[in-house]
């Protein structure tokens, strides 16, 4: 089956060989919305127009215009980027296969659904249909002027449009439109987390997996988005605060102007993970709003009946060291600026005097108030892991466990170590001889290499290797959840998270059910944050 009729017309795909045996059908570059160009820049996506005849689906569509952090170089892509890809396993005489829709990460700034990072080979072997897609990023997807013209969240509305297209058309590929699992990592994981509470996303999926990112991670929440938009305009030579003039200026400026290195650095690196253009609470101008109100309150009304897996990798904080500009710079900041070690909620909400007090408490907890050196990199890593990822992930899991709803919540910690763990090289962490060396670590994004054929890393893999056994294990956990709602594997029964036992699955070479994740460290953070930022 290489031809499929969808709502807009006929697609011609192609049969491809899986790198590990078998075959699958690939349909690439399928438009799921109109190109968001011209007057549609910053606007909610519009339905795609039909085509005549047979449309070739053998090449990927353009990706959003960007500088790719994984592969730095000249900007690539186009504003015309709203395309998706469907991969169908070769399963004779079977219909209504489970569907898994992947939402890529990249800080809401870069990335795509293409197979340079997200090759489908591992997952389609498990007899599921895989869908990946592009959405608008950075300024194009997340600019917010707090006006009717640009209320924000265009990129998240792109994601909703892709999910609606899948819901409408996936049966034509042999998929079950009543068994759709959305999953994503980093900004993609946070995106999945937002879909769990967005009114626009309700009913479009049945299960969800949030990897290394949730909606309560502060880096995914817009902070003073109008101020950022005005600052961007000033960087580009425009100084008026008039709503219409500001909108017209940003709507008509060449796309290349948004990717100037000075602009990217100013916004993305000012406070490490304080990302420039992300998800915002939309003001009401009569539009369909993706998100509004406080995200923690929204989680009291998570879509009922949707089961959720959430988790993190063992050494998330390595990306924090990278974003701070290398280990020696990080050490210098910690030694000379107490506010470097202030948890993000306190940094955003408390006066500087309290921040300095918190910095002292954190320094004492992690370093016993001694002078910090590069030899302390593991403790530095722990702090950044909690600050950017782990604390909010565990906190949200506990919050969801209190809900009296028909949802099951599963938690994991990803500890797989093998030659697949290549992202410390991407983030340049391993280039510093004083950090890590040959010590095996599980960096932010390393879980991707056990779910996808990450082609740009050029990782060799043999079927009789330890790495391949872990890939089989991880992909079966994920696809068992997608198929049956039960993520258990062989003899390992993965229990839902509850406040009494706080069970989570340690996913490594072996699968081990453990309790109370990061217990001592989490409790210290919770006590500190509640002291300075008490919940309302």
The pLDDT value recorded for residue 29 is: 98
Estimate the crossing angle of helix 391-401 against helix 519-532, to 10 degrees: 80
Look up residue 66 and give its two tokens: 């960007």
Is 501 among the residues known to form the active site? Answer: no
The pLDDT value recorded for residue 92 is: 62
- On the CB side of 525, CA atoms within 13 Å amount to 26
The pLDDT value recorded for residue 424 is: 83
- For tokens 């049956």, name the residue: 484
99 and 171 in a single domain? The answer is yes
285 and 321 in a single domain? The answer is no
298 and 319 in a single domain? The answer is no
- For tokens 């099951």, name the residue: 408
Structural domains of the chain, count: 2
Q: How many helices (H) and strands (E) does the chain have?
A: 17, 14
Q: Residue 370: which CATH number?
A: 3.40.50.1820
The pLDDT value recorded for residue 324 is: 67
The pLDDT value recorded for residue 319 is: 84
The pLDDT value recorded for residue 261 is: 45
**Distance between terminal CA atoms of the chain?**
56
Point out the residues of the chain with pLDDT beneath 50.
261-262, 265-271, 433
Is residue 134 within 8 Å of 113, Cβ to Cβ? yes
- For tokens 């696809």, name the residue: 479
Query: Tens digit of pLDDT for each residue in 445-462?
Result: 999 999 999 998 878 888
Q: Which of 26, 112, 186, 430 is catalytic?
A: 186
Q: Which of 316, 502, 518, 521 is catalytic?
A: 316
Please tell me the distance from the alpha carbon of residue 307 to that of residue 496, in angstroms, as a whole number: 10
Is residue 310 within 8 Å of 258, Cβ to Cβ? no
Of 303, 327, 348, the residue that ends a domain is 303
126 and 210 in a single domain? The answer is yes
235 and 329 in a single domain? The answer is no
Is residue 334 within 8 Å of 372, Cβ to Cβ? yes
Phi and psi for 503 in degrees, rounded to 5?
-75, 145
What is the residue range of 287's domain?
3-303
430 and 332 in a single domain? The answer is yes
204 and 263 in a single domain? The answer is yes
- Report DSSP letters for 178-225, one per residue: EEEEEEEETHHHHHHHHHTT-TTTTTS-SEEEEES--TTSGGGB-SSH
Give start and end residues of each alpha helix (H) in 315-387.
318-323, 327-336, 344-349, 352-367, 377-385
Please tell me the distance from the alpha carbon of residue 311 to that of residue 281, in angstroms, as a whole number: 25
The pLDDT value recorded for residue 435 is: 56
Of 272, 303, 334, the residue that ends a domain is 303
Q: Which of 104, 195, 303, 444 is catalytic?
A: 444
390 and 425 in a single domain? The answer is yes
Three-state SS string over 242-288 comes to CHHHHHHHHHHCCHHHHHCHHHHHHHHCCCCCCCCCCECCCCCCCCC
297 and 321 in a single domain? The answer is no
Please tell me the distance from the alpha carbon of residue 55 to that of residue 516, in angstroms, as a whole number: 52
Q: Which residues pair with 514 in a beta bridge?
A: 504
Look up residue 51 and give its two tokens: 């085509």
The pLDDT value recorded for residue 433 is: 47
Residues 6+ apart with CB under 8 A from 356: 338, 339
The pLDDT value recorded for residue 535 is: 77
398 and 451 in a single domain? The answer is yes
108 and 216 in a single domain? The answer is yes
The pLDDT value recorded for residue 269 is: 41
Estimate the crossing angle of helix 225-235 against helix 261-268, to 10 degrees: 150
Residue 478's alpha-carbon distances to 117, 184, 488, 512, in angstroms, are 18, 12, 9, 16
> In the sheet where 54-56 sits, what is the strand order?
3-6, 9-12, 54-56
Is 519 among the residues known to form the active site? Answer: no
Please tell me the distance from the alpha carbon of residue 325 to that of residue 331, in angstroms, as a whole number: 10
């Amino acid at each position: 089956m290489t031809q499929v009729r969808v709502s807009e017309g006929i697609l011609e795909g192609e049969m491809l060989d899986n790198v590990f045996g078998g075959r699958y059908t690939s349909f690439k570059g399928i438009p799921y919305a109109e190109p968001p160009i011209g007057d549609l820049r910053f606007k909610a996506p519009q339905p795609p127009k039909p085509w005549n005849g047979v449309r070739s689906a053998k090449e990927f569509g353009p990706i959003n215009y960007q500088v790719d952090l994984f592969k730095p170089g000249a900007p690539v892509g186009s504003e015309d980027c709203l395309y998706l890809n469907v991969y169908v396993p070769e399963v004779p005489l079977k219909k209504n296969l489970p569907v898994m829709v992947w939402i890529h990460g990249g800080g809401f700034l870069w990335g795509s659904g293409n197979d340079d990072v997200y090759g489908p080979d591992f997952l389609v072997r498990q007899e599921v249909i895989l869908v990946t897609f592009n959405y608008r990023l950075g300024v194009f997807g997340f600019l917010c002027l707090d006006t009717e013209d640009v209320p924000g969240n265009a990129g998240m509305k792109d994601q909703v449009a892709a999910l609606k297209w899948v819901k409408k058309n996936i049966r034509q590929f042999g998929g079950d439109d009543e068994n759709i699992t959305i999953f994503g990592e980093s900004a993609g994981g946070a995106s999945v987390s937002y879909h769990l509470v967005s009114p626009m996303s309700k009913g479009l999926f049945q299960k969800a997996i949030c990897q290394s990112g949730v909606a309560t991670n502060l880096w995914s929440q817009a902070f003073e988005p109008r101020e950022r938009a005005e600052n961007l305009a000033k960087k580009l030579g425009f100084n008026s605060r008039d709503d219409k003039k500001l909108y017209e200026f940003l709507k008509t400026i060449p796309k290349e102007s948004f990717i100037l290195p000075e602009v990217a650095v100013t916004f993305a690196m000012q406070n490490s993970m304080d990302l420039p253009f992300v998800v915002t609470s939309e003001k009401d101008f009569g539009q369909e709003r993706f998100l509004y109100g406080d995200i923690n309150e929204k989680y009291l009304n998570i879509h009922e009946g949707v089961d959720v897996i959430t988790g993190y990798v063992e050494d998330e904080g390595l990306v924090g060291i990278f974003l701070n500009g290398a280990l020696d710079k990080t050490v210098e900041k910690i030694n000379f600026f107490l506010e470097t070690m202030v948890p993000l909620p306190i940094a955003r909400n408390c006066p500087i005097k309290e921040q300095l007090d918190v910095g002292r408490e954190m320094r004492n907890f992690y370093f016993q108030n001694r002078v910090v050196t590069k030899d302390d990199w593991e403790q530095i890593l722990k702090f950044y892991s909690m600050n950017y990822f782990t604390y909010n992930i565990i906190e949200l899991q506990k919050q969801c466990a209190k809900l009296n709803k028909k949802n099951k919540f599963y938690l994991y910690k990803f500890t797989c170590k093998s030659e697949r763990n290549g992202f410390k090289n991407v983030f340049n962490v391993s280039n510093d001889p004083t950090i890590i060396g040959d010590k095996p670590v599980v960096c932010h994004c390393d879980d991707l290499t056990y779910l996808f054929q990450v082609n740009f890393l050029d990782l060799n893999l043999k079927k009789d290797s330890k790495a391949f056994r872990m890939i089989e294990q991880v992909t079966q956990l994920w696809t068992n959840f997608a198929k049956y709602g039960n993520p258990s594997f062989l003899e390992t029964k993965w229990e839902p998270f509850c406040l009494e036992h706080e069970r989570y699955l340690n996913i490594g070479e072996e699968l081990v059910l453990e309790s109370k994740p990061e217990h001592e460290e989490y409790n210290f953070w919770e006590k500190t944050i509640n002291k300075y930022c008490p919940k309302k």
